[in-house]
Structure 1
Amino acid sequence: MAKLKLSKHRSTGSTIIQKDKSSEKLPLVQLPMYSTNFSDAGKYFFFRPEWVKLTRQRGPLSLGAPSVG
C-alpha cells in the first residue's frame, strides 16, 4: 500500500522508483494504519508503550531451561 515516488540517481541521472516512506514520521498512534510494511504495522500495534509497560510489571521473564533440583 506504500505510495511511490520518482527520484533521480545521483551519478547516472536515471529515474529511480522508490517507496515513499514519509508516513514513518507520523505520530505513533497513526503508524499501525499508515505504515509502508505490513510487518511494521503489526510491530507498532503489538508493541505499544502501554502494553510493553504492562508486561514489564510482572517481573523479569526467564526463558532458560528449568532447573532440576
Structure 2
Amino acid sequence: MSEIRFEIWKSTEDGQWYWHVGSVGNNEILARSTDGYVNRSDCLHSLQLVRRGGASARVFDRDTAQFLAMPT
C-alpha cells in the first residue's frame, strides 16, 4: 500500500479552507471535505477528527442496516 498524505489548502475560488486525503504514490484522492471552512483552525480540527477516529471507526452498511466485520 502506498503512503497516505493529508493536505489542506485555501481555495482561490471561495477563500475557504478544505482538506483531502490522498495516496502519495499515484496522487489519488481517497477522501475530501465536502464543506469549506472560513478558518484554517476549523479545517485542521475537522481533519484531526478524521485522523483520530478513522482507524477505529466501524463501517455501517446502509443497505443491510448492519455493521460490517472488517479486518484490522
TM-score range, shorter chain: under 0.3
Structure with a larger share of its residues in strand:
2
* Larger Rg, first or second structure (1 or 2): 1
Length-normalised TM-score, structure 2: 0.26
